[in-house]
A and B are shown apart, each in its own frame.
Chain A
Amino acid sequence: MSGYGIEDLVYILPIVFLLVWALVLVLVEAFTKRPDVTMLLAAFGLLAAVTLSVIQFGTEATAFKEMLTVDGYAVFVYMLVLASGLLSLGLAYDYNRRMGWARGEYYILMLFSIAGAMLMASAANLIVVFLALELLSIPLYVMAAFVPNDASSEEAGLKYFLLGAFAGGFVLYGVALIYGATGATNLMDVVAAALGTNSPVMLLTGAALILVGLGFKVALVPFHMWTPDVYQGAPTPVTAYMAVVAKAGGFAALFRVFIAAFPSVSADLTPVIATLVVLTLVVGNVAALAQKNIKRMLAYSSISHAGFLMMAFVTYGSALYADAVTSLLFYLLAFTVTSFGSWAVVIALEKAEGKGLDFEDYAGLGKKYPMLSAAMLVFLLSFAGVPPTLGFAGKFFLFRTVLEAGYAWLAIVGVIMSLVSAFYYLRVVRFMYFEQGDPEVRSEPVLNLVTAITVVGTIFLFLFSGPLLAWASEAVLALI
């Protein structure tokens, strides 16, 4: 028939497996109606997918007529989002039961969107990028609106959906323009055709539109407006999940597309990207200063981290881009671990839906729950980029790459903004240790496990950041 074969499916087995597994779970949920069973099976599926990804390690192949690529970069992102999935299962399990809306669909939707994020990392065709983006996003819309009969959750979902669809349109239009300019949607064909054109306006416009659309997904300023509202309104585990996975998927696709397809217009786009980075850093950090609600603060914090991640991007046309991608992957890893940890603490303190989320609610935490507050301290320090945490390592590698690429001014802006961010992170610390209060925390085993894993990860992985970085750079080699 078409030249597709079974081997195409085998190359992307982790994704295929995850999708099929999710479909099976749909039936399981429909017939058993037991959310805990579904959850356990989902966790099993994620573990199996991790295993399959590990087996995949070292594979360098393209599937489905070069529409999909399986390489170290992709597998790194696979592992990252699968791990995120496992962690957020841990966050959601107790929380959903506590809030009284435990339903199996939640986990199934999550599996679908993880598969979407994985596809984004593998996509070597602009159409596939768009499809993967939708597969990643649509379950997220539903998950954001998951709390039944809760206006703020519904609002978050609807808002996210409307704006997401809006941004999706930009991506699609960009793809159309690029196809018009080059006659191709496969990244390799695009880059080949782009080299031959002497008037790249259409190509440039298309690339810019894709930048806007994916920039919306990863919450770059000024495409970030939805983020605080949606992060605050969505159920907290969903917020934690999408803060990480949507970013990971978005950045994974953004980097592959731009590095593989648009090197020819890098000189034009780099100023735009640098401007976006500065805007994002400033707006994200300054706005976070003004927040009193921890969810909203973390939302702006995640915007600022998107800015840091994007920093690596200014180098994408230069010879240093391999280093940049390495530091990006590493920063992504650091952000993932730290972020899940901090959200775990937030969930532990959240009383009812939307309650117990103000800074005041953290007063006296240090005295009453020393372990939990110590964990939170670690996460906040990691966010701020203070050693000895993974966050420090991430920022360190990132700034070094930017400096090497000749963007000293950008590195300085980054450092200043890290200092600004320390203020609002430390405000939480102040509440925890220097204010009087009587916080209530639910001690739940799964949640505690997640907290423990992430806190250990944050410190332990810092100690092994050398080998970790080596692994990341190895993953990137294939991209070249």
Chain B
Amino acid sequence: MLLDNWLFVGLLVIVAAGIPAIVLVIARLLAPRKPNDAKLDTYECGMETVGDTWVQFKVQYYIYALVFLVFDVEIIFLYPWAVAFDHLDLLGVIAGVLFIFLLGDGLLYAWRKGALKWN
């Protein structure tokens, strides 16, 4: 019975893969190919694209993003912690404090090492 269900899923996978494949093949066979500049242009929200798409990003963006992540993670974990604060025992409180210390530690380090300075 279980196998039957899986058989159904397997059939679905085959059909699901088959339909787009058939459509693509038909389109290949039938579609006229007349590319022009407008068709080949990169589409970006209807705006005309400016410059090259393969630009190097400054690595500082990522450093910023990483530091920013500290706050993200902090929010995610501290929120449930704060909600359950009434029911926490001592170890729970210590764990929260440790956690803040851990993130603050990293942030302080990054700050002192100049990760937040843009140049």
Contacts and interface: CB of A to CB of B under 8 A. Distances in A.
A420 interface: no
Contact of A1 (B88, B108, B109): B88
Contacts of B109: 26-27, 29-30
A26 B105 contact: yes
B68 interface: no
Contact of B92 (A1, A8, A26, A27): A1
A4 interface: yes
11 contacts: A1-B92, A2-B92, A4-B91, A6-B90, A8-B91, A26-B105, A27-B105, A27-B108, A27-B109, A30-B111, A30-B113
A8 B95 CA distance: 12
Contact of B91 (A5, A26, A31): A5
A23 interface: yes
Contacts of A9: 91
A26 B110 CA distance: 10
B90 to A, nearest CB: 7
Given A23-B101, A23-B102, A23-B105, A30 B112 contact: yes
Contact of B108 (A2, A4, A8, A30): A30
Interface string B9-50: 000000000000000000000000000000000000000000
A1 B113 contact: no
Contacts of B112: 30-31
A304 B107 CA distance: 42
B2 to A, nearest CB: 14
B89 interface: yes
What are the 5 A-B residue pairs with the smallest beta carbon separation, nearest first?
A30-B112, A30-B109, A1-B89, A1-B92, A26-B109
Interface in B76-99: 87-92
A299 to B, nearest CB: 31
Interface string B55-90: 000000000000000000000000000000001111
A1 B89 CA distance: 6
A1 B87 CA distance: 7
Contacts of A6: 90-91
Nearest to B93: A1
Given A6-B90, A26-B105, A27-B109, 4 more contacts: A4-B91, A9-B91, A23-B102, A27-B105
Contacts of A1: 87-89, 91-92
Contacts of A5: 91
A1 B108 CA distance: 31
Interface string A92-129: 00000000000000000000000000000000000000
Contacts of B87: 1
Interface in A1-59: 1-2, 4-6, 8-9, 23, 26-27, 29-31
Contacts of A8: 91
A146 B101 CA distance: 26
A8 B90 CA distance: 13
B64 to A, nearest CB: 18
Contacts of B101: 23
A478 B84 CA distance: 38
A30 B104 CA distance: 12
Contacts of B113: 30
Contacts of A23: 101-102, 105
Contacts of B91: 1, 4-6, 8-9
A397 to B, nearest CB: 42
Nearest to B101: A23
A267 B90 CA distance: 47
A150 B111 CA distance: 25
Nearest to B111: A30
Which of A2, A4, A30, A31: most chain B Cβ within 10 A? Answer: A30
Contacts of B105: 23, 26-27
Contacts of B90: 6
A31 B109 CA distance: 8
Nearest to B113: A30
A467 B106 CA distance: 45
Contacts of B89: 1
A26 B105 CA distance: 7
A413 to B, nearest CB: 45
A26 B88 contact: no
A23 B102 CA distance: 7
Contacts of A30: 108-109, 111-113
A26 B102 CA distance: 10
Nearest to A33: B112
A246 to B, nearest CB: 24
Nearest to A5: B91
Nearest to B110: A30
B74 to A, nearest CB: 16
A27 B107 CA distance: 10
A402 to B, nearest CB: 44
